[in-house]
Structure 1
């Protein structure tokens, strides 16, 4: 396993800009477990005088004792005071920390603190309004319980609503940043690795990139006792009750049952109850509901119109290949599971992640104004018969249609013509249309010749994706 801090430049810039302001700053940073929140905050604070306290799951009196010890450890006050008498005194001490310049206080896993004392947000709010907001102070509250942060801290009816000067929700690393973990691999291997591990730093650190992908899967995913073998089960039990029901729903989605009716049929769970379970999984950022990119906002309010998909690549891999074969893996039949259940289907599995990589390529080039136009929306499109991997468009009549081919043969004129046929169904109001073909194995001569004389056709191979 490797240990390194990768990416997060925009998030670091945000935190540093807030830190350099003379006014009081109250920041909330949150995101799902393993996303890299604590590591980001450690990196941000490493060259600054600061207090960094990680809350425990413990009773209120013990939490106050531990927090007091952390606050007082660098203060002369510790000679005659070991524990503050209450939370108000502890928080009030922020302004008396023995630091020149900005005083930085980071409270990680803040929900644990509140769970043992529900009055803490109100105490903190009163002190912030009374005095702390006028100090050269930066408070950062951090948490992994996304529903708690959004409902108990940021929601309108709660004490701390409106007090924050910044809210940062941490998402997983994109493909290009995740690739920094495995720079020694070929572009094809990078896409395969990303399709397996996604952009969660903790997962990316579990592989040994000096080994082959096959050996890594066997050693670091399929072997009982490895971190990734038990990671999904651990996370689910930490965040949810009725885990068996959630397992059933997630596996149904992972196996291609993405419509509400299909999930209902596959699982046998009542539709009304399924919607509650799906919402909880969306709150955890584990699944998302996707609509055809050109669908109106009004129509997206109907759950029947959307498709449910797993957001986390490792969860996709786990429920597609590991979970159905857990009995064999418990008996250490690692080679058998890999050869029969994973190897024959891995290429097909990677093809879906390849679509996400192609979208990231377009977003990156869109920001740099390297496309024929600057698009405002990008996503998939489908109707009852056809689907298009990528559709991107603006409000001026420009549209881009993309086809992503992850196969061992070259893409040709057949793929282009089929894409053009399907694009006619999307929207007749588009004036300028551009066609992007992404291909793992390149393009045949006929298609290359046509693209040379038609500037509406763009051919993107793996090298261009990573240019």
Structure 2
């Protein structure tokens, strides 16, 4: 059963129904589900689906010719193979699809380009002279994101101007990903997402009816399982010096987020070298540099931090590689009991913040927020904040999980996320508020708190009385059924009755 990817399918469908011919580029990292998405898009349409393989340029053309020369193609009467790519592309005009639009998908086309540098030039020439005026849509799909972005999606490449659509596929968000686990509780869905992330190939490895912890032990930590060797396989396929990259990612997974700390933790003697390694990992969609949301009007600017964007890689480098010798020895139960289970909730708290950010974005699309924000992100820095026990302010560290601002920086939504087994208490709410800088009278500040274990009675009462405060427990977030009250203030009597 195909799950999710509505935005991608809608994009492809919109291109399919346009009157003009379309030349579309769809790309994204490996394992992300590009091929399955294209198959889902093509399944009810007449089409040619060609998957490039690691073979010679002549071999590619021969295989492509056989795909084009389907039964009843006029060219089949006089040839079994096209002499060149121009001839093959030109033959697309005569595909016997009746009045239905001609649809061609070339999957993993960068593989073909590397063996034949003239491929894109041949396609460009035939497209401009013949195909752009035909009822045809060609979709080029590839996983070599660095090559595509550096060599094709640049104004210096003449082929770029012929593209009528470009779409970069990203990992699935939480709400699509948790559809793979319909029988899990809300907590288990967040935990599963923190372990697997949004890569469909990884999500499919778990058995939806099996207990979460059993899936982790059997499908990730057990030698011989697909995911046990996935990180190592992915790195060897894309990079050299895998040992160095392993050290970098293990260091980041262990908590280092600044370039200097990563360099030191990975035993690299030059931060410039570390930057190059991290850049390569970023191009693969595994590591990213996250900058604080722009809040210069209230917060001191601090530099960004590096983090593992792929939850599965983060889990593996937090628990798998760190205990690799024991796992190789078959001690899966021991590793899980003493190394994974005691830390799994703390580990998942970071993914829970991502889930809450996605939820806020969902609320904005549904126009259920008190204002429309233009920026959303995290903040970590020093602020001039008040101390609850003092009348004067003081410089303190301020950590904000979620900060949303409007364009004018006059309205703020500040979010705090709690994935512990303890309820979010009123005292924590006060402590959090006191850590923030003072706001001007003409600035509107809203608070949204997200909790795995609910909220204490005093904080719930405060939320009923305060139109600027919203509380979301994990079931409300995961089900997305709660409709915010648009922060409309209740009357004193309404608050009393609640």
Q: TM-score, normalised by structure 1?
A: 0.95
What RMSD over aligned residues (CA atoms) do the two structures have, in Å? Answer: 1.8
Structure-1 residue corresponding to 2:274: 274
Q: What is the count of residue pairs matched by the alignment?
A: 459
- Is the CA contact 2:22–2:138 (under 8 Å) kept in the aligned structure 1? yes
- Is the CA contact 1:95–1:132 (under 8 Å) kept in the aligned structure 2? yes
1:79 CA drift (Å): 4.7
Post-superposition CA distance 1:174-197 (Å, at most 9, x none): 111111111111111111111111
- Is the CA contact 1:155–1:161 (under 8 Å) kept in the aligned structure 2? yes
Matches within 5 A, 1:40-439: 40-74=37-71, 75-100=73-98, 101-269=100-268, 270-294=270-294, 305-384=303-382, 385-396=397-408, 397-424=410-437, 431-439=443-451
1:444 CA drift (Å): 0.8
Q: What is the SS of the residue equivalent to 1:218?
A: helix
1:40 CA drift (Å): 0.5
Of 6, 11, 20, the residue aligned with 2:8 is: 11
Q: What is the SS of the residue equivalent to 2:330?
A: coil
Post-superposition CA distance 1:104-133 (Å, at most 9, x none): 010000011111111111111111111111
Q: What is the SS of the residue equivalent to 2:23?
A: strand
1:236 CA drift (Å): 1.0
Post-superposition CA distance 1:253-279 (Å, at most 9, x none): 111100111111212321111111111
CA distance in structure 1 between the partners assigned to 2:440 and 2:358 by the alignment: 26
- Is the CA contact 1:451–1:457 (under 8 Å) kept in the aligned structure 2? yes
Q: Does 1:449 align with 2:461?
A: yes
1:430 CA drift (Å): 7.1
- Is the CA contact 1:287–1:309 (under 8 Å) kept in the aligned structure 2? yes
- Is the CA contact 1:35–1:172 (under 8 Å) kept in the aligned structure 2? yes
CA distance in structure 1 between the partners assigned to 2:122 and 2:338 by the alignment: 58
CA distance in structure 1 between the partners assigned to 2:240 and 2:150 by the alignment: 19
Q: 1:274 to 1:430 in 2, by over 3 A?
A: farther
- Is the CA contact 2:398–2:436 (under 8 Å) kept in the aligned structure 1? no
Post-superposition CA distance 1:314-371 (Å, at most 9, x none): 1111110001111111111111111111011101001111111111111111111111
- Is the CA contact 2:196–2:203 (under 8 Å) kept in the aligned structure 1? yes
CA distance in structure 2 between the partners assigned to 1:67 and 1:159 by the alignment: 24
Q: TM-score, normalised by structure 2?
A: 0.89
Q: What is the SS of the residue equivalent to 2:159?
A: coil
1:373 CA drift (Å): 1.2
Structure 2: give runs of 5+ residues left out of the alignment. Answer: 383-396, 482-498
Post-superposition CA distance 1:286-311 (Å, at most 9, x none): 11111111256xx99x9x92100111
- Is the CA contact 1:401–1:419 (under 8 Å) kept in the aligned structure 2? no
1:429 CA drift (Å): 8.8
- Give runs of ≥4 in structure 1 deviating > 6 Å: none
